[in-house]
Amino acid sequence: MTGPQLLPCETPDVKPPRGSKSKTHWVLPATILGSSLGFIDSSVVNVALPAIQGSFGSSLATMQWVVNGYMLMLASLILLGGSVGDRFGRRRIFIVGLMGFAVASMGCGLAPSAGWLIAMRLLQGASAAMLVPASLAIISAAFRGEARGRAIGTWAAAGALTMALGPPFGGWLVDTVGWRSIFFINPPIAAIALFFAWKLPSDYRSNGASDPLDLRGSMLVVLALGLLCYGLIASGGGNGLIGWLAIAAAIPVGVLFVVAEAHSVAPIMALSLFRDRDFAGANGITVLLYAALSAALFLLPFLLIEVHKYSATAAGAALLPFSLIMGIGSRWTGGLVERIGARIPLIIGPLATGLGFVILGLSGKYPGYWMGFLPGLIVVGLGMTLSIPPLTTTVFDSAPDEKSGTASGVNNAAARGGGLVAVAALGLAFGGSELSSMDANALTDAYRLIMFGAASLAALSAVIAALTIGKRSVVPAREPVPKRR
């Protein structure tokens, strides 16, 4: 729930098909509507979780899988999604992603059981892994120069706006219509986006479209993350033996993934990028920060709704200041990075984020929003606003130009993977107890523990920044380095 990031699809070597200029005015409506599906869905579902749990009488582990089913497929397949678009055409994959997301959303809304809902969430995540990279790839191929920058800026701003408005709007739908309605709004949006997508120029393809798809690496990363998540969720639910066996099995699968990437002709994760200390450090910071944020935003609506009796609308609106701060402040922070470099913001930002989590943890017992939860959310928002633009800058500056798309994709996968693992591990804070059977004091205590854990992760990310990020994020020495004023 942190706004759109650049994805593995920057393609300056791609030329739009002949005669396509007259159709570029359809590009932004199609891509904004299409990618907004993924952005909205990732921010709305958390607010609906208490209602979903009550509807099915489900366990905490089930609710973790409702979130993690989507995140697992998105984190695992988003790199492959960019390659598939290069191979088969971005417009074509964009359309396939739209149709898949619409079908999966209908399946979620009609789900007769929690198991069915989780299966449809997996399909949603796989569709988003095609849809989101293809949207930015289409923009990058359709526009040039300053027009491209304006188009990408418009796309990113629209994504930030939809993520900000998603929770309060979704909460209102949950309160007035029911939780199934948050999924039923997706197919009409997809249909409009599909109408625009049919009007786009012929498929854009990159010069690397002949490279083989790294299917082996993609399957291994899905299996490794899936085993790790299953193990953490099972351990948190009291099935320690099964959980630890699954976690142990994830380790060799992860090693096989690294070996496969080292020998792949066209790997989805270029291991050579991690030889750069700034790049490795930035991705380590990303994993920890997004893990902390995802864990906090998973549990916060439960506390507001179950303990303090907020409506779903109020719980969604409670997150609005956080989203607005990030959306408005990121542009200013980007300019700050140009003046002082990324190192200082990447130390101060995570420390401020950690302080915000501490404030949220200490305010858990107080029902008042303005003096209780708002201060912590403001501080977390300011801290993340200081952190994210420097992270993006560091990732791009530390990677060769020809690897910029891959580098961005790795960073996006790191963000989603960190959130995936953190949500899977939440059950460990409950000691095997269920949310539905916990009294208010026990839930508040678990909430405080998770917030303090999130603060620790944020502080650790600041330590990593201090140890790995150079004094200034500069373009690598393979090119003349412009002097900074």
Task: Specify the DSSP element, H or E, that contains 356.
Answer: helix 343-362
| SS3 labels along 164-209 | HHHHHHHHHHHHHCCCCHHHHCHHHHHHHHHHHHHCCCCCCCCCCC
pLDDT of residue 477: 41
pLDDT of residue 203: 64
Q: With CA atoms as reference, report the closest residue to 265 among 75, 73, 83.
A: 83
Mean pLDDT of 4-24: 49
Lowest-pLDDT choice from 12-16, 147-151, 255-259, 387-391? 12-16
pLDDT digits over 104-131, tens only? 999 999 999 999 999 999 999 999 988 8
**Residue 292 Cα to chain centre, angstroms:** 13
pLDDT digits over 125-146, tens only? 999 988 888 887 788 777 776 6
Contact call for residues 85 and 137 (beta carbons, < 8 A): yes
Contact call for residues 167 and 47 (beta carbons, < 8 A): yes
Lowest-pLDDT choice from 70-79, 141-150, 162-171? 141-150
Mean pLDDT of 338-348: 87
pLDDT digits over 286-313, tens only? 999 999 999 999 999 989 998 999 999 9
Contact call for residues 320 and 167 (beta carbons, < 8 A): yes
Angle subtended at Cα 162 by Cα 146 and Cα 26, rounded to the nearest 5 degrees: 45
pLDDT of residue 109: 96
Does residue 402 have a pLDDT over 80?
no
Contacts of 285 (CB under 8 A, 6+ apart): 346, 350, 387, 391, 461, 464, 465
